[in-house]
């Protein structure tokens, strides 16, 4: 005869094992899910689209002459960018003065391949873009980075409003104080390269060099060692926009998706 307390002891051990197994299963599943989410988030950040190059400031004559296939309203915050989907939110940065704003990718449009985008006149004005050297950086935004950008822009707008508030106190100027002359920052010399891509292995970079020589009329592509595991293939440097544009068009026949134009250092 089996005593009741012996059966109870056996059942408790069995239930404990089952309970422990269920707990371990959910713990491992939760960890796997978190790791998957974290890895996906990290991958999205690593694959975040960014491109430096010369933009095209929209003008009605560009549409009339069929240089650009879609119209942009003068006061809109619309940008045409062939690598990004419609309604993608982007940060546009004027590299020469670090001014930035948030814009939205508009309809698919045809425009010169040399330009990395087409922007509205309003964007050009707000960023104070030099029409002779409209060099910008475009970065696709995640929801988190968009929130930070909006908050930062709001702060800047509040600061500008605060600076415009009239001062109630009357101050007496010291006529003996000599006003300091405004220092003008020297214009950076025009010197750019066409960045084909960065590669982890030198052998891969050399393979790209061979392909460029075999499949295009370009004869002098370059390799620069950025670090122990980063080799950059590029063309140039170029000291004028005509030669820069010609080489860009020559390499463009290979159909690379994200060729960049960067300053030569």
pLDDT, tens only, 200-239: 999 999 999 999 999 999 999 999 999 999 999 999 999 9
Does the model's pTM come out above 0.75? no
Q: What local confidence, expressed as pLDDT, does residue 144 receive?
A: 52
Given a cut of 60, whether residue 42 has pLDDT beyond it is: no
Under 8 Å between Cβ of 233 and 208? yes
Q: Average pLDDT over the chain, rounded to whole? A: 78
Looking at per-residue pLDDT, the higher value among 242 and 146 belongs to 242
Dump the DSSP string for 195-226. EEEEESSHHHHHHHHHHHHHHSS----EEEEE
Q: What are phi and psi of 93, to 5 degrees?
A: -125, 125
User: What is the pLDDT, as a whole number, of residue 71?
Assistant: 95
Whole-angstrom distance, CA of residue 86 vs CA of residue 98? 25
Is the separation of the CB atoms in 130 and 83 below 8 Å? no
CA distances from 165 to 136, 160, 168 (A): 33, 9, 9
- Provide the pLDDT for residue 188: 74
In this structure, of 38-52, 65-79, 199-213, the range with the lowest mean pLDDT score is 38-52
pLDDT score recorded for residue 15: 56
Q: Express each pLDDT in 143-187 by its tens digit.
A: 555 544 444 444 444 445 444 544 433 333 444 444 445 555 566
* Stretch 9-20: mean pLDDT: 55
- Residue 198: how many other CB atoms lie within 10 Å: 15
- Identify the structural domains of the chain with CATH numbers, from first to last: 50-144 (2.40.40.10), 192-263 (3.30.70)
Kindly state the tokens that stand for 82. 């062939």
How far apart, in whole angstroms, are the C-alpha atoms of residue 260 and residue 193? 8
Burial of 124 (0-12, 13-18, 19+ CB in 10 A): buried
Which pLDDT value is given to residue 48?
A: 80
């Amino acid at each position: 005869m089996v005593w009741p307390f012996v059966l109870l002891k056996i059942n408790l051990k069995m239930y404990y094992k089952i309970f422990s197994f269920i707990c371990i299963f959910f713990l491992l599943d939760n960890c796997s899910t978190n790791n998957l989410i974290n890895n996906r988030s990290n991958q999205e950040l690593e694959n975040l689209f960014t491109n430096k190059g010369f933009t095209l400031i929209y003008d009605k004559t560009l549409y009339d002459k069929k240089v650009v296939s879609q119209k942009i309203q003068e006061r809109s915050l619309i940008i045409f960018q062939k690598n990004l989907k419609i309604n993608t939110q982007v940060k546009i940065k004027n590299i020469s003065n670090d001014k930035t704003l948030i814009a939205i990718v508009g309809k698919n449009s045809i425009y010169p391949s040399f330009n990395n985008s087409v922007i509205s006149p309003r964007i050009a004005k707000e960023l104070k873009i030099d029409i002779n050297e409209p060099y910008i950086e475009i970065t696709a935004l995640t929801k988190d980075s968009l929130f930070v950008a909006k908050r930062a822009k709001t702060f800047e707008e509040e600061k500008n409003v605060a600076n415009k508030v009239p001062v109630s106190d009357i101050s007496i100027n010291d006529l003996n104080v000599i006003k300091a002359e405004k220092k003008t920052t020297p214009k950076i010399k025009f010197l750019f390269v066409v960045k084909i891509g960065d590669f982890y292995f030198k052998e891969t970079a050399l393979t790209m060099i061979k392909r460029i020589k075999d499949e295009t009329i370009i004869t002098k592509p370059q390799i620069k060692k950025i670090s122990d595991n980063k080799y950059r293939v590029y063309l140039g440097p170029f000291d004028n926009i005509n030669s820069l544009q010609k080489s860009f068009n020559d390499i463009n026949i290979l159909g690379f998706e994200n060729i960049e134009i960067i300053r030569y250092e």
